[in-house]
Each structure stands twice: as C-alpha cells, then as structure tokens.
Homo-oligomer: A and B are copies of this chain.
Amino acid sequence: MLSKNQQIIFDIIEKAKEPIKAYSILFNVQKKGIKAPLQVYRALDKLVEIGKIHKIESRNSFVACKNSNCQISKATAFSICESCEEVSEISDNKLSKYLKSFQNKAGMKFKKYNLEFFGLCKKCSVK
C-alpha cells in the first residue's frame, strides 16, 4: 500500500512517457503540496525499493516498472536511445535467466544486476 506522497509521485512517473528526473517530479507536484526535494527523494527511494519504479543510472532518471516488478528490482535491463533518449524496459526470459545465474571468476554469486543497452531506436535510426 503506497502512502500519500508515494502514490502522488508514482502516478506522475507512471503517466510520463519518458524517464523523468527527480527535480522535474518536484516541479510537477508542488501544486499538490510536496515542496521539498527530500520529500521526492524519499518517495523515490521507497518506490525503487519495492520495485514499482527503476532508476536509469546513466541518466539519473526514473521509470515505472513494466515487468511485474522485476522480482523487486533485482534484475533490470533497459534499452536507451542515444538520440531521442527513449528508454524501454527489456523483458527477455533467456537474458534474465542467463544473467541471474551468472558467476564471475571469483565465484561471487550476485543478488542483483542492472543492464543498460545503448543504441538508436527505430525512429532515430532511419533519420
């Protein structure tokens, strides 16, 4: 169950067609009484923690999860267009299976991964 601020901020992110940044969220919610960055960041932290949203690390921005919460954000993959900045979440069983079972040479077993692919989306590649 989301709290009031969490719900307000989640709604903004979910409605956005693109990844959205914390201070842009702040600007959008000031009319709803959320006035301080910390109020936004706290909601973002919680939403990330429970897997409702993900942070696109290379862009410092946030998107709603499109994949039944990615097992609470333990396994995330995105495609990012370097021209128009369109981001979409990748859902690929073979990829996630492969990465979830990946072990490095030190035998370290991982709890979590985040993968970002970069290229040109369809629209941008024909331009």
CB within 8 Å of B: which residues of A? 57-58, 79, 82, 88, 90, 92, 95, 98-99, 102, 104-122, 125
Known: A57-B57, A58-B57. Is A109-B119 also a contact (CB below 8 A)?
yes
Interface contact B113-A117, CB-CB below 8 Å: yes
Tell which of B106, B110, B112, B118 touches A110, judged by Cβ atoms closer than 8 Å: B118
Interface contact A110-B117, CB-CB below 8 Å: yes
State the Cβ distance, A53 to closest chain B Cβ, in Å: 15
Interface contact B110-A119, CB-CB below 8 Å: yes
Q: Which residues of B contact A117 (CB under 8 A)?
A: 102, 104, 108, 110, 112-113
Q: How far is the CA of A99 from the CA of B107 in the complex (A)?
A: 20
